[in-house]
Amino acid sequence: MSALVGAGMVFFLAMVAFILIRWGKLPLKGRIPVSTWVFIAILFTSGLDVGLIMFPLTEFPVYANLKENSEYAFANPLAIEFGFWGFMIWAVYFVTCFYFCALEPKLRFFQITWVKWLNNIVIIGTCAFTAHLLFANLTWYLPSLAARDGISYAYIAIVGLTILAAVYSSTALKYVKILSVSSGGLFVVLGTGLAIYAVNQPGVDMGDYLSTLPLLSDYFAHLDEFVLPMNDYHAFYLFWWFAWSIMIGQFTARFVGNMRAVTLFLNMLIWPSVSLALWFSVLYLLYTKGIDTAGIINQLMVAVGVVFVLNSLDSLIRLYSDNLNLTVERFGKPRYIAIHAMIMMSLTTLFGMQFIKIQWIGAIVIGMGACCVLYMVTADRRHRLPNADGLLPLKLKSLSSK
C-alpha cells in the first residue's frame, strides 16, 4: 500500500508540472464564481476538517519521541506536522480543481457509469470518515464525558447531532457560503485567542511564538522527504488526502472566479499553507511550554472542530446527493434528512469498527486518477480541450487512429 500511495504522489506532482506548462495561462471560471477571498475561505474550510483542530496536540509528542520514531529525526515536530498537512498536499488538490473546472466539461469522464458510481462511493465514504475522526478524538479533548465502561453516549450524541445539523444545512446552497466564511472566521478567532493566551502565561512572551515560525524551514529544506511515505502513519495521511482530493476538486471548481490556472495554483498553495503555519505554531508553543489546555480551551477547540465537520459534511453531502439525484427536490426535506443521516451514521459506525478504512478509499482515487489520464490521452477526436490561452481547441488524437 505504501508503494501505491508513493506512486500516486509522484504521478500527481508530475501532473502539476504538466498542467502549469501546458495550461498555466488558461482563464478559469466555475459555474458559481465567487470573489477570490470567498473562494479561499471555501477552499480552506472545505479542504480541512476536525483533524486540523484536534490532531496536532496529540501528534507533537509522537514526532518528538525519536527513540521510538527515528524516521522523524530529519526535522522538528512542527515541520513534520506542517508537512503532513500543508503545501504539497494542496498541489494535489490543485490538480483535481483544475481538472473539474477546465477539462471535465469536455471529457465527461466522470459521467461514465462505473466512474460515477466509484466517485460517489469515495465521496460518501470520506464524508463518513470525517465524522468518525470527530468521534475518535473526543476522548482526548473531553475526557470527563468518557464512559468508564462501555459506550459513551455523550460522544455518540455529539457526533449524531453534528451529522443531523450537517444534513439539514446541505438542503440549501446558501448555508455553504455561510458555513465556509463563519468557520474560517472562528478558526482565525480561535488561533488568535490561543496565541494571546499562550504569550500571557508566566515565562512566555511574543518572542517565544515568533521563534517557532523559523522551525517551519525544516519542511522546505527536506521537501523531498514528504513525497514518499516515511512510515505507515504518513501513508495513512497521504491516502486520506487522496480520498479528499477528487471531492475537493469537484466542489471547489464550482466557485473558481475569473483567474488563470497559475493564479489558482498559487492561491491554493500559499493561503491555506500560511494559515496552517500560523495555527500549528500556536499549538506547538502550547506543547513546548507545557501550557495546560484542559477545560475551556479544549472545549472551545472541540466546538470549532464541530463547525469544521459541519462545513465539510455539508459540502460533501450536497455534492453526492446532487450526483446521485438524492435531492430535497426529489424526496422532500424530511425524507432527504432521514436518508442522508442514516447513510452517514451507518458508515461512521463502520469506520469506528474498522470494517472500512480510509486507505482503501484513497487507493480507489489513485486508480481513478490514472484511468482518467489514460482516457484523456486516448480520447476520441470529438473531445476538444482548451489550449493554453483558452481560445483555440486542442484535438486529442485517439491511439486507434494511429
Which tens digits make up the pLDDT trace of 278-295?
Answer: 999 999 999 999 998 888
**Cell digits for 247?**
471531492
Selected residue with higher pLDDT from 26 and 185: 26
Q: For position 334, which CATH number holds?
A: 1.20.1740
Which tens digits make up the pLDDT trace of 301-330?
Answer: 888 888 888 877 887 888 788 888 888 889
Q: Nearest CA to 101 among 311, 241, 239, 268?
A: 268
Which tens digits make up the pLDDT trace of 31-69?
Answer: 888 888 888 877 876 666 678 888 899 999 999 999 999
What is the total residue count of the chain? Answer: 402
Global pTM reads 0.86
Sort strands 27-28 and 259-260 into parallel, antiparallel or unpaired.
antiparallel
Mean pLDDT across the stretch 206-232?
A: 93
Q: Are 12 and 91 in contact (CB under 8 A)?
A: yes
Residue 396, domain member (yes or no): no
Selected residue with higher pLDDT from 248 and 82: 82
The answer, yes or no, to whether residue 360 has pLDDT greater than 90, is yes
Alpha carbons 307 and 188: distance in angstroms, whole number: 13
> Cβ–Cβ contacts within 10 Å for residue 218, how many?
18
Instruction: Say what the alpha-carbon torsion angle 394, 395, 399, 402 is, to the nearest 10 degrees.
Output: -110
**Cell digits for 176?**
455553504
The answer, yes or no, to whether residue 395 has pLDDT greater than 50, is no
For the ranges 101-115, 120-134, 370-384, the lowest mean pLDDT is seen at 370-384
* Measured CA distances, 296 to 189, 199, 292, 387 (Å): 15, 17, 11, 54
The answer, yes or no, to whether residue 113 has pLDDT greater than 70, is yes
Q: What rounded mean pLDDT belongs to the chain?
A: 86
Question: What pLDDT is recorded for position 106?
Answer: 87
The answer, yes or no, to whether residue 400 has pLDDT greater than 50, is no
Alpha carbons 73 and 81: distance in angstroms, whole number: 13
Residue 391, domain member (yes or no): no
Non-local CB neighbours of 21 within 8 Å, separated by 6+ positions: none
CA 226 to chain centre: 17
Q: Nearest CA to 16 among 276, 371, 269?
A: 269
The model's confidence at residue 11, banded by pLDDT at 50, 70 and 90, is very high
Structural domain containing residue 27:
2-377
Residue 386, domain member (yes or no): no
Q: Report phi then psi at 76, rounded to 5.
A: -75, 160
Mean pLDDT across the stretch 340-346?
A: 91
Which residue's entry shows cell 529525526? 73
State how many domains the chain has. 1
> Cβ–Cβ contacts within 10 Å for residue 245, how many?
27
Mean pLDDT across the stretch 72-94?
A: 93
Residue 320, domain member (yes or no): yes
Residue 112, domain member (yes or no): yes
